[in-house]
Amino acid sequence: MGDMRIATHRHGLLMGRNSAEMTMYKKLWLTVLVSVLVLSLAVWMFAHLLAGHRASSPRICNLSTSSGSGTTTVTTCPKKLLVFSKTGAFRHASIKDAIVALRKLAAQHNVAADFTEDASVFTYENLRQYNAVVFLLTTGHILDDNQKAAFERYIEAGGGYVGVHSASDTEYNWAWYGKLVGAYFDRIHGHSSVTQATINVIDRTHPSTVMLPAKWVRTDEWYNFATNPRGSVHVLMTIDETTYRGGVMGTDHPIAWYHEFDGGRAWYTALGHTSESYNEPLFLAHLWGGIIYAAGYERSIAG
């Protein structure tokens, strides 16, 4: 009996403790429930904001791939490039050859490409349809203030920039552009004559360099730059100044590079002065690889 009473008493104590615990648990559950609800609401709102942001960004499409039967096929992404070759100063005779080559490359890779020298196409609403904008052998002052602002907005929204050769001899008074391209052409020390030189391909993992030899010997006009872009860009290739005359940057003379900048991607090559470049398979592969990077096509086009 005594034992039972003690047991009942203990049981009663346990019951009392339990109901106190139950109330505590109820409070805890309520707190957890409210927290989960608030969190869900936050996630839902964030997803909505993100969706809204995506809808207004240049890369609306999802660059997903489906690899049935071993072939990579493009799914939903409309692929489109803008190639801009307006010149406000020196005009390269190779522009026409470069356009022919890019037209061919784009067609081969099922990429739509618009070619223009009309700066009025630089509105945000128009630019946002393109995965990348190629400044092909541009020079000098080519965009007005509104067009510059539209291009900045395009890059900030995740757009791509490709600069070819004299794209670094363009818009010297537009500081943002200077940072985007990485470095300006050195107008004091200029460039070499068209001559053979050896390029050190120091990063051969990028879409624009993966096909290149470690030492790439070719003929072109070799730029000096007003500043060394290393530090703000990822350098892909340097030129060996001991292999030609006219280089003034010393042992570290970057000649092609890329970087993520202000929300977008930028790729630049100093190569491509000559018309012959645009019939050179390795140079064209290098150029197309740069476009693939800038346009964000890496996951959907093999090369």
Report, in Å, the least distance between residue 149 CB and Zn ion. Answer: 29
Residue 217's φ and ψ, nearest 5 degrees, are: -95, 120
Q: Rounded to the nearest whole angstrom, what is the least distance from the CB of residue 274 to Zn ion in the complex? A: 8
By CB under 5 A, residue 87 contacts Zn ion: no
Q: State which of positions 92-111 bind Zn ion (CB under 5 A).
A: none
State phi, psi for 244 to the nearest 5 degrees. Answer: -155, 175
Q: Are 199 and 254 in contact (CB under 8 A)?
A: no
Give the CA dihedral 262, 206, 281, 292, nearest 10 degrees.
-40
- Shortest reach from residue 190's CB to Zn ion, in Å: 10
Q: Nearer Cβ to Zn ion, position 221 or 241?
A: 221
Contacts of Zn ion in 196-225 (CB under 5 A)? 221
What tokens appear for 97 in the block?
């050859």
Near Zn ion by CB under 5 A: residue from 273, 274, 278, 287: 273
CA distances from 301 to 67, 72, 185, 245 (A): 11, 7, 32, 38
Shortest-Cβ-distance residue relative to Zn ion: 273
Residues forming a β-bridge with 114: 82
Nearer to Zn ion, 94 or 131 (CB): 94
If the CB atoms of residues 58 and 254 are measured against Zn ion, the closer one turns out to be 254
Show the binding pattern over residues 129-168: x = contacts Zn ion (CB under 5 A), - = does not.
----------------------------------------
Kindly tell me the sign of the dihedral angle through the C-alpha atoms of 249, 250, 255, 261.
negative
Span of 38-46, 124-132, 145-153, 271-279 interacting with Zn ion by CB under 5 A: 271-279
Q: Which residues contact 271 (CB under 8 A, 6 or more apart)?
A: 164, 165, 218, 220, 255, 256, 277, 283, 286
Tokens 């992404």 sit on residue: 77
Q: What are the phi and psi torsion angles at 297 (to 5°)?
A: -90, 0
Residue 56, φ and ψ in degrees, nearest 5: -100, 0
Residues 131 and 151: their CA atoms lie apart, in Å, by 13
269 vs 300, which CB is nearer to Zn ion? 269
In whole angstroms, the minimum distance from the beta carbon of 198 to Zn ion comes to 19
Site size with Zn ion, rule: CB under 5 A? 2
Q: Closest separation between CB of residue 164 and Zn ion, Å?
A: 10
**Shortest distance, CB of residue 90 to Zn ion, whole angstroms?**
7
Least distance (Å) between residue 201 CB and Zn ion: 21
Instruction: Choose the binding region for Zn ion from 62-70, 234-242, 264-272, 273-281 (rule: CB under 5 A).
Output: 273-281
β-pair partners for 256: 237, 269
Q: Select the span of 81-89, 172-180, 201-209, 272-280 touching Zn ion (CB under 5 A).
A: 272-280
The pattern of x and - marking residues 220 through 239 that bind Zn ion according to CB under 5 A reads -x------------------
Q: Are 206 and 289 in contact (CB under 8 A)?
A: yes
Nearest-approach distance from CB 166 to Zn ion, in angstroms: 6
The contact set with Zn ion (CB under 5 A) reads: 221, 273
